[in-house]
Amino acid sequence: MKLYPAYLDRAAQEALLEQIRAIVEEAPLFTPCMPRSGKAFSVRMSNCGPLGWVSDIGGYRYQPYHPATQRPWPPIPPLLLQFWQDLSGCDAEPEACLINYYGPDAKMGLHVDSDEEDFSAPIFSLSLGDDARFRLGGTTRKDPTNSFKLSSGDILLLDGKDRKAYHGIDRIYPGTSNLLKAPGRINLTMRRVKPIKG
């Protein structure tokens, strides 16, 4: 993995947040649920890009439209695509940017990002708002894990052996940032979904 602490300064964070607000107006946050059990996630989600990640009773998948509005996802902001170009080491563009919204009590269990068809590109993750405790393990559930804090403006790349590593969010530290209007955190995760040609 590669961690770029405070890659975005406050002005860049505010500019990006404005763009994410506009996206979420067009493609409202929805509450995903676990396949089969139907148990609701504590994180709310939306997406931008040609494809978006969704989870419902039918399973996990990428699809080109919002599950409630049925409309195509808004495009990924050029600023984000620029960061991907500068840091990912991947010439192809990401097709999906998942927007995770964590309220003060939200968390995300350990999982592997494995619904993509291409694993050569890294998972690119950018944090806005309150600090979070990120947990990173190995490629099996039994492997030992480490945890560290992610703060507003940090960028994390899961690449190489960590591309398929278990990871999750233990907790949010409410009130550690004043970027958002209320306690909480936004995480933007860009992924390459389709195989890269050539």
Binding interface with ligand SIN (CB under 6 A)? 98, 100, 108, 125, 134, 150, 167, 169, 187, 189
108 binds, among ligand SIN, Fe ion, none (CB under 5 to 8 A by kind): ligand SIN
Which one of the spans 37-45, 65-73, 83-91, 113-121 is the region binding Fe ion (CB under 5 A)? 113-121
Question: Are the C-beta atoms of residues 186 and 132 closer than 8 Å to each other?
Answer: no
Shortest distance (Å) from residue 27 CB to ligand SIN: 17
Query: By CB under 5 A, is residue 162 in contact with Fe ion?
Result: no
Query: By CB under 5 A, is residue 116 in contact with Fe ion?
Result: no
Q: Which is nearer to ligand SIN, 71 or 149 (CB)?
A: 149
Number of other CB atoms surrounding residue 113 within 10 Å = 19
DSSP-derived letter for residue 177 is -
Query: By CB under 5 A, is residue 131 in contact with Fe ion?
Result: no
Q: Which is nearer to ligand SIN, 167 or 192 (CB)?
A: 167
CA dihedral of residues 70, 67, 47, 123 (deg, nearest 10): -130
Residue sitting closest to Fe ion (CB): 113
Residue sitting closest to ligand SIN (CB): 187
| From candidates 95, 113, 116, 130, binder to Fe ion by CB under 5 A | 113
Question: Are the C-beta atoms of residues 73 and 49 closer than 8 Å to each other?
Answer: yes
DSSP string, 95-163: SEEEEEEE-TT--EEEE-----S--SSPEEEEEEESEEEEEE--SSTTS--EEEEE-TT-EEEE-GGGG
Shortest distance (Å) from residue 198 CB to Fe ion: 27
Place of tokens 């979904």: 193
**Chain positions contacting Fe ion, by CB under 5 A:** 113
